[in-house]
Structure 1
Amino acid sequence: MKQGDILRGSYKLAERLGSSPFAETWAAVATDACAAAAPGSPLVLKLLSLGEMPDWKGYDYFEREAAALKAIRHPAVPRYVDSFRLDEDDRHVLGLAMERVPGRSLAADAANGKRWTEAEIESMLAELLSILAYLQSLRPPIIHRDVNPKNIIQRPDGSLALVDFSGVQDAVRLAYRDTTTMTGTAGYAPIEQVSGRASVRSDLYAAAATACFLLTGTHPSDLPQRGLKPDPGALVELSPRLDFVLGQYLEPDEALRILPPGDAAHILRKELPIPGVSSPRQSGVSGSAVPGGEERGGSLSRALSRLADMATDKLQDKGRDDGDELRVPVSTLPSDSSVVLEREPSRIRVLVPSTGLSQPGFWAGGFFA
Structure 2
Amino acid sequence: MIVPQQPQNSLPSFATNLGGRYSLTTALGQGGMGRTYGGQVMATGQPVAIKIVSLHQSRDWKVIELFEREAKILAQLDHPAIPKYLDYFEWEEGGDLLFCLVQEWVRGVSLRQWVNKRGPMLEADMVAIAQRILPILSYLHGLNPPVIHRDIKPDNLILQPKGDLYLVDFGAVQDVYRNSVSYASTFVGTLGYMPLEQLRGHSRPTSDLYSLGMTLQFLLTGKDPAPLVLDRPLRSQRLPLSPERQAWLMRLIAPSPEDRWPSGAIAAQHLSPDSPLSPSPSTPPLLTFKFNWNFSGQILSLLIYVLATMMIIYRENAPDSRTLQHLFLLLSALISAICLPFFYHWNTLNLEKDHFIVYDHYVFFTRKHRGRIEDIFNLEYRLKKIKSKGGPSRLEHYVVLWEGVKPYWLRCESEAVAQEIIAQIEPILEEKRNG
Matched, 1:26 2:31: no
Matched, 1:152 2:163: no
Deviations 1:218-241 (A, max 9, x none): 221189x9x920116732242234
CA contact (8 A) 1:212 1:232 kept: no
Q: Secondary structure at the match of 2:48?
A: strand
Residue 344 of structure 1: which of 418, 421, 426 is its match?
Answer: 418
Residue 87 of structure 1: which of 92, 116, 122 is its match?
Answer: 92
Matched, 1:141 2:215: no
In the alignment, structure 1 segments of 5+ residues that lack a partner are: 34-38, 279-284, 290-296, 323-338, 350-369
Q: 1:132 to 1:275 in 2, by over 3 A?
A: same
**Residue in 2 aligned with 1:119?**
124
Deviations 1:80-117 (A, max 9, x none): 00111213443321211001112100111222243321
Q: Secondary structure at the match of 2:203?
A: coil
In the alignment, structure 2 segments of 5+ residues that lack a partner are: 1-11, 282-356, 362-366, 388-392, 399-409, 424-435
Matched, 1:238 2:241: yes
**Residue in 1 aligned with 2:112?**
107
Task: Give the partner amino acid of 2:37.
Answer: W
Q: CA deviation at 1:48?
A: 1.8
Deviations 1:170-223 (A, max 9, x none): 111238766221211111011111111111111111000000111122221189
Q: Secondary structure at the match of 2:113?
A: helix
Residue 172 of structure 1: which of 174, 177, 197 is its match?
Answer: 177
Task: Give the partner amino acid of 1:262.
Answer: A
CA distance in 2, matches of 1:19, 1:92: 18
Residue 23 of structure 2: which of 2, 5, 12 is its match?
Answer: 12
Q: Secondary structure at the match of 1:244?
A: helix
Q: Secondary structure at the match of 2:49?
A: strand
**Residue in 1 aligned with 2:351?**
none
**Residue in 1 aligned with 2:427?**
none
Structure ranking higher on relative contact order (CA contacts 8 Å, 6+ apart): 1
Kindly name which structure, 1 or 2, has the bigger radius of gyration based on alpha carbons.
2
CA distance in 2, matches of 1:321, 1:114: 43
CA contact (8 A) 2:107 2:160 kept: yes
Q: 1:95 to 1:242 in 2, by over 3 A?
A: same
Task: Give the partner amino acid of 2:67.
Answer: F
Q: 1:241 to 1:133 in 2, by over 3 A?
A: farther
TM-score, normalisation: structure 1: 0.72
Q: 1:30 to 1:189 in 2, by over 3 A?
A: same
CA distance in 2, matches of 1:277, 1:313: 34
TM-score, normalisation: structure 2: 0.62
**Residue in 2 aligned with 1:281?**
none
Deviations 1:229-260 (A, max 9, x none): 01167322422342222111211112222432
Q: 1:176 to 1:236 in 2, by over 3 A?
A: same
With 206-215 and 17-26 compared, the bigger mean Cα shift is at 17-26
Larger fraction in strand: 2
* Cα-Cα RMSD: 3.7
Q: 1:347 to 1:14 in 2, by over 3 A?
A: farther
